[in-house]
Structures are given as C-alpha cells and as structure tokens.
Structure 1
Amino acid sequence: MGSGTHAREREKASRFPLWIGLLVLVLIIGVVAAVLWRARSEDSSCASTSTTTVAAAPDIAPALTRAAEAMVDEVDCVEVQVVAMVPAEALNALVARDPSAPDLWVPDSPVWIKQLSDAGVRSTVLSEAIASSPVALAGGPSAAAPGSWFDALSSGRVVVQDPTKDGPSAAALAAPRAESSATGASADELTARMVPLAQQYGARTAKPADEVLAAISTTSKQLVPVTEQHYLAAKRQNGALSFVVPDSGTLLLQYPVVSMAQVDDDSTDASGEFVSYLEGRAGQDLLSEADFRKADGTALAAGVGFGDVTALPQPNIADVQSDLRRWTVLTVPTSMLAVVDASGSMDFETGDGTRMELAVDAARRALSEFPGNARVGLWSFSIDQGGPGVDYKQLAPLRALGEGDQGARLVGAIEGLVDRTTGGTGLYDTTLAAYREAIKKYDERYFNSVVILSDGANDDPGSIGLSSLVKTLRAEADMARPVRIIAIGISEDADMTELTRIAEATGGSAYPARDPRDILAVISQALLAR
C-alpha cells in the first residue's frame, strides 16, 4: 500500500506542472491577442474621415452605391455617398455653385463635361470612363434591324426621350453623324432629319423610358433607343422585348468621373480611393454584375446582352452640342401660314411636271411631317385671285392639323392648287395681308411664321410698292407677338433680292429652291434657323 501511495503522489505531482503550464499558455495567448487587437484598433481608429459625395447618372448609381459599400469595408477612414441625379440637373447644380453640389460627378457622356467647361466651371477628369454600355433599339419580337441610324430616324418608328436629358436618345440623335462617312448623308440632310423628329416629340407627352419599354408588346412597331444595361433590366420585366442594332454599328455611352474638389479639400482622398477602386478588379466586377461593359466596350460574358457590336467613332462634341441646341428650339411647335404663288408662270414645265405640280407634291410631303398640334393655314395668290382687286384667297384657315377636319381640308386644298394657276404675281399686297393675319392669329405657345413660296417678282401695278411694304412690315412688327416671314424663291425666275428684303424686315430669311422638289428641305432649313 505504501508503494501505491507514493506512486499516486508522484502521478499528481507530474500532472500539476502540466496543468499550470497549459493555463499559463492560454493566459499568455489571450493577453497577446488582446494587445494585438488593441493595437490594431488604435491603428485603425481615424482622427478624421475623408468623405466624398458622388452624383451619378441614374442607371449607374445603384452599381456605384454597391461599390461604395464594398470599398468602405476594405478601406479605412473613407466614406462615399452616392446620389442618383439626371446629368442635366447635376450640371445645373454645378454651374450654379450650389453648396450641395457633389465632389464627384459620373454622367453618361463626356458631352456633359464639355458643357461644364463651357460654363466656366473648373473640374478634373479622374477617369475617362469607368464603364460603358452600347445603345440599340428596343422593340417587339418582329423588329428588324435598319441599315443605319439615319434610316431608323427617317422611318417614323423611333420614339425618343428628350435627348438633352436622356443619354440613349442623345446617342440616337448623334449616331447619324458618326456613320455619315459610310451612309454618305450630308450635314444638311442630317440636320433636316431632326426637324420632324423634334416636332413629333414636342407634340406628345413624353412617358418615362421604363413605361415605354414595359408597354411594348408582340405587335409593337415602335423602336426605343436604349442602352444594353437598361435593356437587360427591362427584359426581365417584359419578355416581349427584343433589340436591333443598325447595320452601320452603334455608339457606346461612356461614364467618365469628374472631380469638382480643390486640391486641399478633405474629399480628395476619398475621391481618389473610390476611383481607384472602381477601376480595379473588384470595382469592375461589380459593374459587370450590373451589366455594364468595361470602358473599351468588350462584350459581356456568357453571351449576355447585345454581344459583339461595331462601335461607331465618337462624333465631334461641338456638333453634338449644336444638335442638342437645335433640338431644344425645334421642339417648340410650328404655326405656319403657307402662301403659295398661283400665278400663270407656275404652269411652266420643268421636265418632270409643272412647277405647281412639283410644288404640290413637295407641300403634301411637308404636311405629313408635321404633328397634329402644328397650326397650318393655306392661301393661294396671283393678281385678282380672291376677286377684283384682291390678290389672295384663303383655302384653309390657320388651325391645328388635328382639329376637326383641318388635316384633310389642307390636303384637298393643296391638291387643288394645280387648278388655280392664273394671272400675274400679286406678291406685295398678299405678303402684307398674310403678315397681318398671322399677327392676328398669333399664339405664344408656337413659333409663328408666314411661309411665302413664289417663282417671280411682283407684277401688280396697283399694289403697294416694295419700299412701302418693307417700311410697313417694320412698323407693324410687334415684339410681344413676333411673326417671321420665311420667303422661298422657286426656280431661277424668283427675285431673291426682293424676297430677302421682305423677309428680313420681320427678322426672317429668304431661301432659294431652284427645283420645287427642294421645298421640303428648304422648309426644314428655315425652321432650323429659328
């Protein structure tokens, strides 16, 4: 028993130091861990946090918000706040030096940066593009790809948003310029194509793009400019959607990053960190997950989206800005009293018909380009056309095309012009009467004009003289009710000198149309010169 007792005592003694050693080791590890945690905590505590605010185009803002949240988990002492803001609204805030203006701006086109610079606002481009998305035309399942963007915009099927606010619509408007080397469309043709598109836009109440895309069905014929990223999001909600890319190619919307901060601003650290994160692998992966392409336009993985597309060269920014300014002017609806020369010389043959026959065909086509809210009236004129001593006759009053039977009445009156040709040109009295009628019927919601088409000089010896006419037009011009005369000289016989004097007396212009078939293009040119 004695030997057993000693054995147990030796066993207890041998275990005791081991137990104590383990306890001490655990305590040491705990202390070291606590010290290390405290040291790390002290190292990561921030004397101050660098905060940056970001205004981003609404389509990319959600992806940037996710990127900001992910970055803050990885980078200490920075905070990024992202707000979705339409580029036009952000531009206004930046130009106005609004105290709430963002530190960083991510619009959907470098055109916005040029506008910022033109307004005298200093900024620094931190990234030419963190992402891109090609533009296509969304439609129903039967949508067919047009040969070019010019063809698409000429089809009457494209429904645009306001291109001064909507990136895809601005791209659709700019694409014909970018493809012009392939299509051969002239600068005049490109700008003229904008007239009916803008007039049609001004005539309707624009619905948000999401509503338009949601309403597209299997029988829809309309086409809507849309980015790949937006299309994929809309497709998840509307399975009837399909897309087409014109054969000529397309433009990429690119998303630059611009810093508004000064060098010593606290936000510069956070801004730089955020841009670096977006351009890095993690940021690019997040943008890709949101269906944005890399800046170079590389197609999305796994065959998602539009696939490989032919990228058109980016158009000149100054040309794009000019087109957008024209658009803004052209969306104001037209009020036009058309006054057509019905003198005997309009019966002269041209080889393809009489001057009047060609003018009638051009007028009919021009009428079809105007929306229902356009106000159009029609007079014909020649000596005694309206009876003895009256050189003009009203064929249709100045009213909206969609009002009652006005549209049909105008078509009938235009076609009947070929039977009204007779006598000499009673230009001066007619011009004064038409100008007074347009002032009387003035509507402030419209661009008000008198469009005179004539193939010769005034022949009426008993009418007011040219000098007296010009003087009277200037005297009766009303700044509160502005009406411009647009004079179009048909054929080589037109007296452009006197037409120019007449038009300029009202702030208008005169244009030659050597061939009556050019009337539509000339009217478009005149409307562009508003």
Structure 2
Amino acid sequence: MGDTRPYSRDRRRHIAPGRNGRPPRRLALPITASVAVLVLIGGVGAAWSQAGFGGMFAEGAGCRDNAESVVVVADPSIAPTLTAVAAEFDVASESCVVTEVRSQDSADTAAMLASNAASGADAWVPDSEMWLQRMESTAASLGRSAPSVQVGDPVASTPVVLAAPAARALDFASQPPSWTAVIAGTVSALLPDPEGSAASLSALVALSERASQEDPRQLAGTLIALGRSIPESAESAFDSAASAPAPTVVVTTERQVAAHNGAEPATPLVALYPSDGTKSLHYPFVVLDAAGGVVKATQEPSVEPFDRGQHLADFAEAVRAASDTLAAQGFRDGSGGGELAVSGVLAWPAETSPAADSTQQVELLRSWGVLNLRSRMLAVIDVSGSMLEPAGGGLRRIDVFQRAAVGAMQKFSGEVEMGVWVFSTNRVGNQDWEDLSPIEPLGNPEHTAHIAGIIQSLPQYIRGDTGLYDTVLAAVQRVRDGYDPSKVNSVLLFTDGKNDDKVTIDLQTLLAQLAAEADPLKPVPVILIGFGPDADIDSMTQIATATGGAAYSANQPDDLGRVLVDALSQRGCRPNC
C-alpha cells in the first residue's frame, strides 16, 4: 500500500492563523496508486505547464508595468465565486496586484502537482481535502516528493445529497431516500466515478458506515450494483435519472443542484437529504510551495514590498467573509452553516457527519476499483441430472441457481464481457461441455438478453453426469486463447457434485496439465462454487489453487447469492488475494 506517514514538519510549514484566529488543519496523507495520472500528465498537465496563468495586469498609473500576479487554481464548482470575490478584493487592495483564479478539476490539479508539472500557481482551492491525499499518493506512485503545502481552513462547504428530478419528487414521499435504502436496493442510485468525484467518494464512505460490519458482502454487493452504470458526470447522471423508468436519485452536492437549477433547465432538480445523515465537502485554501513565505519586492523603490503570503491569507479571509456571494452560488460557509435562498435546496443546513479518515478512503477506492474492474469471464454451469434434486423450500437446485444468477447478472456493468457454457457428460458427442454463448460485452443488449434467456431455459439442458475435469481444462484453454490483457480473464464455474465421468482425465492429470500450460503473462484463475452436500470441495480447492482462483461452498439456498458476491468481489485480485 505504500508509505502512509503524515507530512513531516519540514514539509508542512506553519501558516499564520487567519483573521478568525483559527489555525490551519494538518492532514495525514496516505499513499495509493493512480493509473490515470500518466495520461493526465501528458495532456492537461503539459498544457498548464506551457501556457501558464498570466494575461491580466492591473491598470493605473505606476501599476501597469509592476503589477504582481497571484494565481489561485480552483475547482470549477467554486472558481466563478472566487473570481467575483477576487475582483472586489484587488480593487480594495493597497498593493498593485492581480489575483487571478484559474478553473481546473481538482483531480487534474492533484495529478499535476504530484508530477511537478504545475508552475506559477500560488494557491489551490479543491472541492475536498481528499485531493490532497490523492496528490500525495500519486507523487509516491511516480517516485516523486509531493510539493510542500500549507492547508488553511475551508472557505466554503456543501453537503452531499441525493438529487431527483423535481417532477418525480413525490415518488420518494412515502419512503425518504437514505444510504440504507441504497444498500437494500429499494432506492435506485447513480454514482459518478468516485475516482474523479469527491461527492461520490464521500457517498461510499456513508454507505460503508451504514453497511453491515459483520457481513462485508453487503457493501461489496452495493458497490457492484452502483458500478453497473457509472455516469460520466453529474449532469449526464441528471439526464439519466430524468429518463429512468424507475424513480432514481443521483449522488451529487447541494451546490450542484443549485447550479443546475440556476441555469433554468427543462428538468429542474430537488435535493433530497438522506434520512440517515450525510457528509459534507469542504473547500480548503491551500498555499502551494514557498508562496506563503516569500516577500517579493517590486522594482520600484518607492513602492511598498509585496508580501505574497499575507496577500493569500487576506484573500482567503475575504472569501470566507463573502457570505452573500457564497450563498448566492449555493455554498454554505466553511463550517457548514449559513442560509440559502436558491431553488431546490433547504434554506438551512442539514446536519452532516465528519469526513472519513484517509485510510478508510484509500480502502474504499481500492474496493471500488477491484469490484468494477473490466472483466472477461466464461461462466460454466453444471446441468447434470442431480441439478433437479430438491434444494429446500419447494425449489430444485437448478431453481436456486437461476435466482442467484439473475441477481448476479444485474450487478455486472456493460463493460464486462461474458460467455456461457453448460456441462455434464457427452453433450456434443464425447465432449462434456456445450458452448451456448460467446464471450462478448454485456453492454450489447442483444447479448445480455441472450444470456438471460439461457439462464431461464437451463432446466431443458439437464441430463447426464458431472464431467468436471475435462470441462475445467477446456474452459481455461478457451479463455486463454482469447486473452485480453486489459481485462481480468477468468472462469466462473458452478457445480453441485463431483467428477463422475468414467472416461475423463483424473484430478492429478488435470492439475499437471494446468501447471504445464500456465502462463504468468496470461493468468486465468478458476473460481469454483459448489452448491449442496455432494459438491467435492477438496478437488475444487486443488483446482482453484493450481490456477490462482478460489473455491466456495454454498450449502443452503440463501448461501448461494452471498457466495456469488464473494466470487465477483475477488475476481479482480486473483491470483494474489
């Protein structure tokens, strides 16, 4: 996981308290990997480094040629507000200075600062302190030292809410939305990618706090379900919610709802506040590098030396004091208070809970990444005669599997590729397996419908004994033949018995052949799920070990759904779980 030590004193220098006397907060910034940063550095980062931030100079006698430029990079959500405050602030300043606000996504800024590709910026206002942690972890992944920063108190805040089209707000009147309802699946939710959305990551924290602490499958199942359809942005999520057949909410912020409604859209939104509490995003004022400690004299001896650090501190306080400007744009103040008079949100603030610590955020992002990895999977289903035996509750084993499979299918995203085999004995001549569907993306509605049809028609395929060993070997070979290095390639096999094909290879021959054909550059883990008392868990475990997979046992009907979540949640970390 990397170094999780907090900033040392030599890297986190003291910044003087603001006019309110409050000292800046210190953060412990963990290390985590960032894959997308390399692309980002090559694109946006280069543009920033080359273009710089200049362009504006103060007007007036004796000032045009000597104007100091102070650059504040801000998240797009708050950049217009800071620009408005800066204009008045510079007019009232006794210094010959231009405070320029540069709008840029917090994720982009974090990556650029981590790569040392940013030049000319004096301060940064991200939409959450989580981006400071991302800056640190990204720098570590690049083998660099993160820049020294001074973290001041927040200048604004906004709570995380569940937004719904105003025309459908009454759909939630009988059951107010909550994080608990999202976990239970009684409320449909759209979650923009938490890798780039502070609101979404905060939502994952809220979900994790309300999910069962005894059964980790509950949170895993929720993350899989949310990852099934990841909108590109909050605005695209709003469009999807408006056209969704079932009442749907979008994880976003109060400020985003206010901004959306302020543009007078065709579909206005209403902010629904989770009945079991929520989180809040705080916008810290972050002084970068040595900007806060340098006193830079102008070239005119008669002009008072310019104190850049004091200017930044004064500007931060000016933003905090601009309560009317902040409120007009849908922001609460830095402590979460203040009254709003904008459409779609509460006038007075809802209660929020503290943000999660850095370690929890890192773990949640890691879980999210594993659960939503792009996968290429071959599902192999036992259709031997024993699948017609009773499983309890008036259901046969095949009935139980069908129900669990339908639930699992609903959790896959459209980027997952899946194919389906069934197996028993002598299905195609002497061959024990039958290819019913090729491995193709579930994003293709026709392919998804085809697989759903196969699941519903499984009883008609049942006959014969269990030809397990030949099928396992053939399935691994098929997946490896079409191996896609950009995806997790695996076999997911379900069986209720043990190998009883009299003419098949034996277990030792299978294990030897799997070992001989193993390719470390093309791993194909086999994840086996045994259902019922007849499943040969010992043999399944040996097969799983040989391929870097896992073997699970589901002895009761209710176990099967939970075991499927386990299998799906660990498919991305094989063979190193």
TM-score (norm 1): 0.79
Q: Distance in 2 between matches of 1:235 and 1:473?
A: 59
Equivalent of 1:286, from 320, 325, 328? 325
Per the TM alignment, residue 228 of structure 1 is displaced from its structure 2 partner at its CA by: 1.5
Per the TM alignment, residue 406 of structure 1 is displaced from its structure 2 partner at its CA by: 3.3
Q: Name the counterpart of 2:222.
A: 193
Q: Distance in 2 between matches of 1:381 and 1:135?
A: 48
Equivalent of 1:382, from 414, 424, 429? 424
Equivalent of 1:87, from 106, 115, 126? 106
- In the alignment, structure 1 residue 311 sits paired with structure 2 residue 336: no
- In the alignment, structure 1 residue 100 sits paired with structure 2 residue 119: yes
Per the TM alignment, residue 55 of structure 1 is displaced from its structure 2 partner at its CA by: 1.7
- Could you say if the C-alpha distance between residues 492 and 283 of structure 1 is closer, same or farther in structure 2, counting changes exceeding 3 Å? farther
Please state whether the residue corresponding to 1:350 is helix, strand or coil.
Answer: strand
CA deviation vs aligned residue, 1:290-334 (integer Å, no higher than 9, x gap) = 321112222424586323323134233322222223434544433
Per the TM alignment, residue 219 of structure 1 is displaced from its structure 2 partner at its CA by: 8.4
- In the alignment, structure 1 residue 158 sits paired with structure 2 residue 194: no
- In the alignment, structure 1 residue 66 sits paired with structure 2 residue 84: yes
On the 8 A contact 1:104/1:271 being kept in 2, the answer is: no
CA deviation vs aligned residue, 1:407-449 (integer Å, no higher than 9, x gap) = 3432332233335445543211100111112223434554322
Q: Distance in 2 between matches of 1:151 and 1:333?
A: 27
- Could you say if the C-alpha distance between residues 101 and 473 of structure 1 is closer, same or farther in structure 2, counting changes exceeding 3 Å? farther
On the 8 A contact 2:258/2:342 being kept in 1, the answer is: no
- Could you say if the C-alpha distance between residues 193 and 269 of structure 1 is closer, same or farther in structure 2, counting changes exceeding 3 Å? farther
Please state whether the residue corresponding to 2:89 is helix, strand or coil.
Answer: helix
- In the alignment, structure 1 residue 148 sits paired with structure 2 residue 178: yes
Matches within 5 A, 1:230-309: 230-236=256-262, 237-238=264-265, 240-262=268-290, 264-266=293-295, 269-279=307-317, 282-302=321-341, 305-306=345-346, 307-309=348-350
CA deviation vs aligned residue, 1:99-140 (integer Å, no higher than 9, x gap) = 526332221112112223333414334324221101222222
Equivalent of 1:224, from 242, 247, 250? 250
On the 8 A contact 2:527/2:550 being kept in 1, the answer is: yes
Matches within 5 A, 1:116-195: 116-118=135-137, 119=140, 120-140=145-165, 141-143=167-169, 144=172, 146-152=176-182, 154=185, 157-180=188-211, 186-195=215-224
Which residue identity lines up with residue 494 of structure 2 in the other structure?
A: L
Q: Distance in 1 between matches of 2:488 and 2:192?
A: 22
- Could you say if the C-alpha distance between residues 513 and 478 of structure 1 is closer, same or farther in structure 2, counting changes exceeding 3 Å? same
Larger Rg, first or second structure (1 or 2): 1
Please state whether the residue corresponding to 2:227 is helix, strand or coil.
Answer: helix
Q: Distance in 1 between matches of 2:533 and 2:295?
A: 70
CA deviation vs aligned residue, 1:372-422 (integer Å, no higher than 9, x gap) = 5533222222233444x3222223333334547433432332233335445
Identical columns (%): 31
Q: Name the counterpart of 1:529.
A: 573
Q: Distance in 2 between matches of 1:508 and 1:197?
A: 25
On the 8 A contact 2:225/2:410 being kept in 1, the answer is: no
Per the TM alignment, residue 235 of structure 1 is displaced from its structure 2 partner at its CA by: 0.8
On the 8 A contact 1:130/1:256 being kept in 2, the answer is: yes
- In the alignment, structure 1 residue 475 sits paired with structure 2 residue 478: no
The structure whose residues are more often helix, as a share, is 1
Per the TM alignment, residue 164 of structure 1 is displaced from its structure 2 partner at its CA by: 1.3
CA deviation vs aligned residue, 1:66-117 (integer Å, no higher than 9, x gap) = 2222222233335432211111111111111125263322211121122233
Matches within 5 A, 1:340-359: 340-352=381-393, 353-359=395-401
Please state whether the residue corresponding to 1:518 is helix, strand or coil.
Answer: helix
Please state whether the residue corresponding to 2:526 is helix, strand or coil.
Answer: strand
On the 8 A contact 2:387/2:398 being kept in 1, the answer is: yes
Please state whether the residue corresponding to 1:243 is helix, strand or coil.
Answer: strand
Q: Distance in 2 between matches of 1:269 and 1:172?
A: 40
- Could you say if the C-alpha distance between residues 218 and 358 of structure 1 is closer, same or farther in structure 2, counting changes exceeding 3 Å? closer
Q: Name the counterpart of 2:375.
A: 334
Please state whether the residue corresponding to 1:142 is helix, strand or coil.
Answer: helix
Q: Name the counterpart of 1:516.
A: 560
Q: Distance in 2 between matches of 1:450 and 1:309?
A: 47
Per the TM alignment, residue 46 of structure 1 is displaced from its structure 2 partner at its CA by: 12
On the 8 A contact 2:493/2:528 being kept in 1, the answer is: yes
- In the alignment, structure 1 residue 115 sits paired with structure 2 residue 134: yes
- Could you say if the C-alpha distance between residues 247 and 168 of structure 1 is closer, same or farther in structure 2, counting changes exceeding 3 Å? same
- Could you say if the C-alpha distance between residues 185 and 249 of structure 1 is closer, same or farther in structure 2, counting changes exceeding 3 Å? farther
Q: Distance in 1 between matches of 2:213 and 2:535?
A: 31
Q: Distance in 2 between matches of 1:491 and 1:266?
A: 75
Matches within 5 A, 1:42-53: 51-53=69-71
Q: Distance in 2 between matches of 1:348 and 1:226?
A: 48
On the 8 A contact 1:178/1:315 being kept in 2, the answer is: no
Matches within 5 A, 1:7-26: none
On the 8 A contact 2:156/2:331 being kept in 1, the answer is: yes
Equivalent of 1:414, from 447, 455, 458? 455
- In the alignment, structure 1 residue 76 sits paired with structure 2 residue 94: yes
On the 8 A contact 2:376/2:417 being kept in 1, the answer is: yes
Q: Distance in 2 between matches of 1:507 and 1:344?
A: 29
Q: Name the counterpart of 1:32.
A: none
Please state whether the residue corresponding to 1:425 is helix, strand or coil.
Answer: coil
TM-score (norm 2): 0.74
Please state whether the residue corresponding to 2:392 is helix, strand or coil.
Answer: coil
The answer to which of 354-363 and 97-106 deviates more is: 97-106
Per the TM alignment, residue 339 of structure 1 is displaced from its structure 2 partner at its CA by: 0.9
Please state whether the residue corresponding to 1:292 is helix, strand or coil.
Answer: coil
Q: Name the counterpart of 2:73.
A: 55
On the 8 A contact 2:378/2:475 being kept in 1, the answer is: yes
Per the TM alignment, residue 493 of structure 1 is displaced from its structure 2 partner at its CA by: 4.4
Which residue identity lines up with residue 425 of structure 1 in the other structure?
A: T
Q: Distance in 1 between matches of 2:440 and 2:269?
A: 39
Name the count of aligned residue pairs.
482
CA deviation vs aligned residue, 1:179-210 (integer Å, no higher than 9, x gap) = 44xx7784331122111322322xxxx45434
Q: Distance in 1 between matches of 2:341 and 2:570?
A: 50
Q: Which stretches in structure 2 are left out of the alignment for 5+ residues?
A: 1-59, 297-305
Q: Distance in 2 between matches of 1:403 and 1:234?
A: 32
Q: Distance in 2 between matches of 1:55 and 1:68?
A: 12
On the 8 A contact 2:552/2:563 being kept in 1, the answer is: no
Please state whether the residue corresponding to 2:479 is helix, strand or coil.
Answer: helix
Q: Distance in 2 between matches of 1:444 and 1:528?
A: 13
Q: Distance in 2 between matches of 1:497 and 1:54?
A: 62
Q: Distance in 1 between matches of 2:63 and 2:561?
A: 77
Q: Distance in 2 between matches of 1:246 and 1:355?
A: 39
The answer to which of 80-89 and 409-418 deviates more is: 409-418
Q: Distance in 2 between matches of 1:447 and 1:376?
A: 11
- Could you say if the C-alpha distance between residues 130 and 187 of structure 1 is closer, same or farther in structure 2, counting changes exceeding 3 Å? farther
Q: Distance in 2 between matches of 1:233 and 1:385?
A: 60
Per the TM alignment, residue 473 of structure 1 is displaced from its structure 2 partner at its CA by: 2.3
Q: Distance in 2 between matches of 1:508 and 1:242?
A: 46
On the 8 A contact 2:465/2:501 being kept in 1, the answer is: yes
